Chain A
Amino acid sequence: MKKSLVLGLALTLVMGLGVGCAPKAAAPATEAPAATEAPAATDAAPATDATAEKIYIPIISKGFQHQFWQAVKLGAERAAKDYNVEISFEGPESETQVDKQLDMLQAALAKKPQAIALAALDSKACTPYLEKAEAAGIPVVGFDSGVDSPIVKTTAATDNYAAAALAADKMAELIGSKGKVGLIVHDQTSKTGVDRRDGFVKTLEEKYPDIQVIPVQYGEGDHAKSTEAAKAIITANPDIKGFFGANEGSIAGIMNAVKELNKKDIVIIGFDSGKLLLDAIKAGTVAGAITQDPVGIGYKAVEAAYKAYKGETNPEFIDTGFKWYDKTNMDTPEIKEVLYE
């Protein structure tokens, strides 16, 4: 009798799995027939109607829970609607999980898509799969940090160097082109970290000789670590005039540090958005920030993938844009669009 209980439970497990999938299965079910017909469509295109030509483009990002990636997803979905393509959006839970991203890329290739959009965690590790895609005639486009490979012909991303240079100009303007400026950057290895650091530091050094840049500290984009780093800088440089945080986590750290040390006269400039930063700008503790256009990144990535599938050539680098925002313009529609909480 006990055994039948166990067996019964086993059945529940299996059924539960089925049910667990069911509400979702309904959605893929509508896709599935289209997807099944897609390969057949090449053989019997005239026989079937337009739905058979549905184009499928998987998007593999560097994350999915983060607000930023959700905004990218939104843009991708918008482009999918405009170009009438089917998309899926996936990314590993943490940016260290290189192998999990490879699994996603593999699963995406198994579905024989028309094109793939990829933001690689490690371009080299992706190489064999990129080669597989090339051999199968599936174009791959890069987005965000892109893919460093000759197989990937185009990348839709923010010009981070130029964006950080704009932050530097704004900083100089706000502190009167004179005094000490510090910055917290998320890391010294990723392209976004390097470009934002160099864009900010070099612009200040070249254009504003009276501004002294305090050596860069890195906080791994972690709120707590960035806080410690920012506090150390402020303690060592009590006369600091301005502070720049190169991503959401870095700027959160600077805001914490300023709060904990009760230094109200420092001009703070941030990067990206997020609720913390937006509230701080509204309250006036942060002067303003540069925002990327994550919605644009997602949109342009799908657009480029679609064009690549159609055989059109894309430029090597598609700038997806960036904007300066502060208290005065953050409620205008064009800025509000690209901010996320």
Chain B
Amino acid sequence: MANTISKNDSKVVGVPKKSLFSAENLQKFLAFGALMILLLFFTLASPFFLTFDNIVSITLSTCVNGILALGIIFVIITGGIDLSIGTVMTFSSVMAGVTITNMGMPIWLGIIVGILTGTFCGFLSGTLVSRLKLQPFIATLGVMMITKGFSLVLSGTKPIYFSDTPSFRQITAGSIIKFGAEGKYSIPNGIFIFLLMAVIAAIILNKTKLGRYNFAIGSNEEATKLSGVNVVKWKTAIYALCGAFAGVAGIVMAARLDSAQPALGQGYELDAIASVVIGGTSMVGGEGTILGTVIGAFIISTLTNGLKVMGVAQEWQIVITGLVLVLAVLLDTLRKRGNK
């Protein structure tokens, strides 16, 4: 997967310069290498780290953040930002809860409503940013507060439980792949949803018009506009796509918690942005890879889990995670300077 994506990237970006190509590979190696070193480090540091259950734990806690990161990378490639994804995720799960639990509609409809809610919120942000020319930071900050408020209003500030529909929980917590005696080793479905979303994101980014225009807008919006691309339309679509991913994350989250938690969500956008950046994507826009983002999301959750299993004090866990983020960005900056 690594090779095909990197090839596609160089094609899409349309910069066949040799040095960039190899530097890009180096960047990927760095992120992947860092993940491997982390895994090795924690395995040596704690006998409880490398167990089937714990690896499943890490992957499961990567899912929601990973799906959010897969969405926001599209926006970051345009050079924009979407601060609303955390609360849009929550709003989507609340809408699914309202549909399924409060209105008694079937689960599939709730899922569709949830994802559409996310898409609509993204569409709203996109319209504010592209058509009405608001700064992405401010526009999505507004959407963040609006969706947070609506989540609290619609839920009556209480969690909405999916008690009447036990199969809803299976979306994330259930397992279609089990092995060992009596399904001793089961892999939660949430993980497969995450991987599926990663494949979808990779296809959209590398194989479709939207992906091509996405890179073009991020590299030089003015030039893209002058060459006849309807930037307003495509940018709106990109924000809507990001919202759709937040919607899927909302469903996965709600199914994991067996409830839509209306107060949760704020701050989750920052973890997603961190995953994207650790994965080697620049906040300036114009470049980025899906594989890097997936690895970035894994690095964050591995770090969080590993430090806990090792028994590092919580205050220090935060310090170390921050250090890793800063170093990752610093590395990326140096790599780019090296190319010039």
- A residues at B contact (CB < 8 Å): 2-3, 5-7, 9-10, 12-14, 16-18, 20-21, 24-25, 27-28, 31-32, 35-36, 64, 88-91, 93-94, 96-99, 102-104, 106-112, 122, 124-125, 127-128, 187-189
Task: Give 19 CB contacts A-B under 8 Å.
Answer: A5-B334, A6-B334, A21-B45, A24-B312, A25-B45, A25-B310, A27-B311, A91-B314, A96-B261, A96-B263, A96-B264, A99-B253, A102-B257, A103-B305, A103-B308, A107-B57, A110-B49, A111-B309, A124-B257
Please name the 9 residue pairs, one residue from A and one from B, whose CB atoms are nearest each other, closest first: A2-B338, A96-B263, A107-B308, A110-B54, A28-B311, A106-B57, A125-B257, A13-B327, A96-B264
The answer to whether A90 touches B308, judged by C-beta atoms less than 8 angstroms apart, is yes
The answer to whether B258 touches A127, judged by C-beta atoms less than 8 angstroms apart, is yes
Q: How far is the CB of A332 from chain B (nearest CB, A)?
A: 32
* Given A3-B26, A125-B258: A110 touches B57 (CB 8 Å cut-off): yes
The answer to whether A106 touches B61, judged by C-beta atoms less than 8 angstroms apart, is yes
- B residues at A contact (CB < 8 Å): 23, 26, 30, 33-34, 37-38, 41, 45-49, 51, 53-54, 57, 60-61, 64, 157-159, 161, 163, 173, 253, 256-259, 261, 263-267, 301, 304-305, 307-314, 316, 319-320, 323-324, 327-328, 330-331, 334-335, 337-338
The answer to whether B331 touches A10, judged by C-beta atoms less than 8 angstroms apart, is yes
For B307, the closest partner residue in chain A by CB is A21
Among A5, A25, A99, A103, point to the contact of B264 (Cβ < 8 A): A99
Among B57, B314, B324, B327, point to the contact of A9 (Cβ < 8 A): B327
The answer to whether B264 touches A16, judged by C-beta atoms less than 8 angstroms apart, is no
Among A13, A102, A112, point to the contact of B324 (Cβ < 8 A): A13
* Given A21-B310, A107-B54, A189-B158: A99 touches B257 (CB 8 Å cut-off): yes
For B308, the closest partner residue in chain A by CB is A107
For A127, the closest partner residue in chain B by CB is B258
* Residues of chain B contacted by A21 (CB below 8 angstroms): 41, 45, 307, 310, 312, 320
The answer to whether B259 touches A17, judged by C-beta atoms less than 8 angstroms apart, is no
* Residues of chain A contacted by B256 (CB below 8 angstroms): 99, 102, 125
The answer to whether B331 touches A13, judged by C-beta atoms less than 8 angstroms apart, is yes
* Residues of chain B contacted by A128 (CB below 8 angstroms): 173
* Residues of chain A contacted by B41 (CB below 8 angstroms): 17-18, 21
The answer to whether A6 touches B310, judged by C-beta atoms less than 8 angstroms apart, is no
Q: What CA separation (Å) do A146 and B167 show in the bound complex?
A: 27
The answer to whether A103 touches B61, judged by C-beta atoms less than 8 angstroms apart, is yes
The answer to whether B258 touches A17, judged by C-beta atoms less than 8 angstroms apart, is no
The answer to whether B323 touches A20, judged by C-beta atoms less than 8 angstroms apart, is yes
The answer to whether A2 touches B257, judged by C-beta atoms less than 8 angstroms apart, is no
Q: What CA separation (Å) do A5 and B51 show in the bound complex?
A: 36
Q: What CA separation (Å) do A7 and B338 show in the bound complex?
A: 12
* Given A25-B45, A96-B261, A103-B304: A5 touches B338 (CB 8 Å cut-off): yes
Q: How far is the CB of A82 from chain B (nearest CB, A)?
A: 21
* Given A36-B47, A103-B57, A110-B57: A14 touches B308 (CB 8 Å cut-off): no
Q: How far is the CB of B66 from chain A (nearest CB, A)?
A: 13
Q: What CA separation (Å) do A122 and B262 show in the bound complex?
A: 12
Q: What CA separation (Å) do A108 and B308 show in the bound complex?
A: 8
* Residues of chain B contacted by A94 (CB below 8 angstroms): 267
- Beyond the given A64-B314, A104-B308, A110-B51, please list 5 additional residue pairs across the A-B interface where CB-CB is below 8 A: A3-B338, A6-B331, A13-B328, A32-B46, A99-B61
